């Protein structure tokens, strides 16, 4: 969005606080505002002064985080990240409780944060995911900043992106399902070796609503379209449907079918500041 020149106008800067809505309507906060002082000092202040945790939970939090790779990241970020990557196989709750953290702070603070990050609780999200975020909060003041879209995402996000792409000769085709991938295979293993195109379901519409025939780049059903490079940006169910069975001969692609998506419903109850 900064490249498009609409970062400040499309994404309104929110007060540097994170809010927790508790039972009964009580609001707790992590307030990172500290007179312009940034990470890690503003983060320490936010956790020390939050009303979301009792004093015992704050002490338990301090013990757990003080003995974590987060402290190491202040001096050697890359080395700390190596330690964090090794924690991908255990849940955050398992790691946190092992470090002296309390179940109370898990319920009142870390579960809401985990839901915001990955839509699952601390018993199911990996320690790697949570600690990566903590490290960014510790070393980069802007990592904990929140911004709100100024209005309709289509108006303030999608349209500037489309205008940028169209100015550079990009055509967007809609309502055309990908039936298959066009790819070369390894003669000895039969495994895919290079994706070079798509098989489309039929005629499509361009972004202006007009039907795109051969001149527009999409033709009859089952037509193969070849490209220099193919990038698939899909959710988990989407990529599982898109990949041909032969791709599962490659371990990295087969691992995709071990992933489980988390159903998400987003509700926007009001607009910040207005």
Which among 263, 159, 173 is positioned nearest to 227, based on CA atoms?
Answer: 173
Which among 10, 13, 30, 29 is positioned nearest to 21, based on CA atoms?
Answer: 29
Half-sphere exposure of 107 (CA within 13 A, CB side): 7
Say if residue 63 is in the same domain as residue 137.
yes
Which among 122, 99, 94, 127 is positioned nearest to 109, based on CA atoms?
Answer: 122
pLDDT band at 274 (very low <50, low <70, confident <90, very high): very low
Which whole number is the average pLDDT over 2-15?
Answer: 91
- Asked whether 243 and 250 are in contact (CB, 8 A), the reply is no
Where on the phi/psi map is residue 102: left (φ > 0), alpha (ψ -120 to 50), or beta? beta
Q: What is the CA radius of gyration of the chain?
A: 24
The model's pTM is 0.73
pLDDT band at 218 (very low <50, low <70, confident <90, very high): very low
Q: What is the DSSP letter of 221?
A: T
**What gap in Å lies between CA 147 and CA 68, rounded to an integer?**
29
**What gap in Å lies between CA 242 and CA 251, rounded to an integer?**
17
pLDDT band at 269 (very low <50, low <70, confident <90, very high): low
Say if residue 185 is in the same domain as residue 252.
yes
Q: For position 143, what pLDDT does the model report?
A: 87
Which whole number is the average pLDDT over 220-230?
Answer: 84
Say if residue 60 is in the same domain as residue 159.
no
pLDDT band at 264 (very low <50, low <70, confident <90, very high): confident
Which whole number is the average pLDDT over 1-18?
Answer: 91
Q: Taking each helix axis from N to C terminus, what angle separates 55-66 and 41-49, rounded to the nearest 10 degrees?
A: 150
Q: For position 172, what pLDDT does the model report?
A: 83
Query: Which segments of 14-126 are extended strands (E)?
Result: 17-21, 27-31
Other beta carbons within 10 angstroms of residue 30's beta carbon come to 22
Say if residue 63 is in the same domain as residue 73.
yes
Judge whether 269 lies within some domain: no
pLDDT band at 58 (very low <50, low <70, confident <90, very high): very high
Say if residue 165 is in the same domain as residue 176.
no
Judge whether 102 lies within some domain: yes
Backbone angles phi and psi of 227, in degrees to 5? -140, 160
Say if residue 216 is in the same domain as residue 107.
no
Say if residue 45 is in the same domain as residue 123.
yes
Give the list of residues 6+ apart from residue 17 with CB closer than 8 angstroms, or none.
Answer: 29, 30, 31, 32, 33
**What gap in Å lies between CA 103 and CA 116, rounded to an integer?**
19
The 10s digit of each residue's pLDDT in 78-126 is 999 999 999 999 999 999 999 999 898 999 999 999 998 888 999 999 9
Q: What is the DSSP letter of 76?
A: -
pLDDT band at 265 (very low <50, low <70, confident <90, very high): confident
Residue-number span of the structural domain to which 203 is assigned: 172-258
Given a cut of 80, is residue 268 above it in pLDDT? no
Judge whether 267 lies within some domain: no
**What gap in Å lies between CA 125 and CA 121, rounded to an integer?**
6
Beta strand 192-200 with 178-185: parallel, antiparallel or unpaired? antiparallel
Q: Per the structure, how many domains does the chain have? A: 3
Say if residue 117 is in the same domain as residue 81.
yes
């Amino acid at each position: 969005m900064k490249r498009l020149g609409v970062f400040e106008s499309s994404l309104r800067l929110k007060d540097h606080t994170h809010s927790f809505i508790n039972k009964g309507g009580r609001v707790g906060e992590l307030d990172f505002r500290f007179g312009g002082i940034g990470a890690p000092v503003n983060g320490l202040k936010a956790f020390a002064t939050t009303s979301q945790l009792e004093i015992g939970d704050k002490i338990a939090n301090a013990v757990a985080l003080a003995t974590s790779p987060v402290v190491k990241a202040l001096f050697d970020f890359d080395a700390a990240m190596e330690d964090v990557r090794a924690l991908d196989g255990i849940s955050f709750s398992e790691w946190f409780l092992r470090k002296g953290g309390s179940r109370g702070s898990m319920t009142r603070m870390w579960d809401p944060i985990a839901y915001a990050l990955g839509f699952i609780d601390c018993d199911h999200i990996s320690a790697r995911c949570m600690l990566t975020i903590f490290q960014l909060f510790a070393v980069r003041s802007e990592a904990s900043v929140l911004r709100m879209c100024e209005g309709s995402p289509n108006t303030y996000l999608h349209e500037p992106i489309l205008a940028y792409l169209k100015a550079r000769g990009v055509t967007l085709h809609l309502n055309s399902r990908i039936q298959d991938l066009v790819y070369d295979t390894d003669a000895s293993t039969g495994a895919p070796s290079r994706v070079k195109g798509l098989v489309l379901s039929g005629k499509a519409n361009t972004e202006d609503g007009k039907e795109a025939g051969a001149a527009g780049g999409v033709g009859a059903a089952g037509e193969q379209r070849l490209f220099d490079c193919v990038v698939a940006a899909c959710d988990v169910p989407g990529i599982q449907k898109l990949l041909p069975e032969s791709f599962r001969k490659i371990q990295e692609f087969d691992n995709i079918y071990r992933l489980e998506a988390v159903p998400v419903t987003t509700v926007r109850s009001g607009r910040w500041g207005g």
